Amino acid sequence: MKKLAFVLVLMAFGATAALAVPPGRTLEFDKSPMGKVIFDGKLHNDAAKSCAQCHNKDTFPAMKKGTVTITMDQIYAGKQCGICHNGQLAFDAKGNCARCHKK
């Protein structure tokens, strides 16, 4: 019985923690001289196939802002945000600065 209760608690916690930025919430990245980037949780959760598409050991291993330094060099190299923002899955990051960066 104790094992079942423990599993149910873990499942309940996992269900609420599964979305890094839940719908209706945003993250703001304000360190770029190009302007602030606002990450929309609903937009990205709707577009993703799964949490693991972005949250994995190679891309964004922790679901916590500030644990990975995001750079345009990495994005342009097809890493980090550039895995999707490559002109095929989502708009290409190259040449579309103002789609993310807002002054």
Q: What is the pLDDT of residue 25?
A: 86
- What ranges do the domains of the chain cover? 20-102
- Beta-carbon contacts of residue 23 (< 8 Å; ≥ 6 apart): 41, 42, 45, 46
Can you name the CATH fold of 20-102? Cytochrome C3 (3.90.10)
Q: Is residue 77 packed enough to be buried (19+ CB in 10 Å), middle (13-18) or exposed (0-12)?
A: exposed
Per-residue 3-state assignment (H helix, E strand, C coil) for 56-68 = CCCCCCCCCCCCC
3-state SS assignment for residue 34: coil
pLDDT tens, position by position, 78-91: 999 999 999 999 99
Q: What are phi and psi of 82, to 5 degrees?
A: -70, -10
CA dist 68 → 11, 13, 24, 54, 89 (Å): 27, 24, 23, 12, 22
pLDDT tens, position by position, 33-82: 999 999 998 899 889 888 888 889 989 988 788 889 999 999 999 999 99
The pTM is what? Answer: 0.72
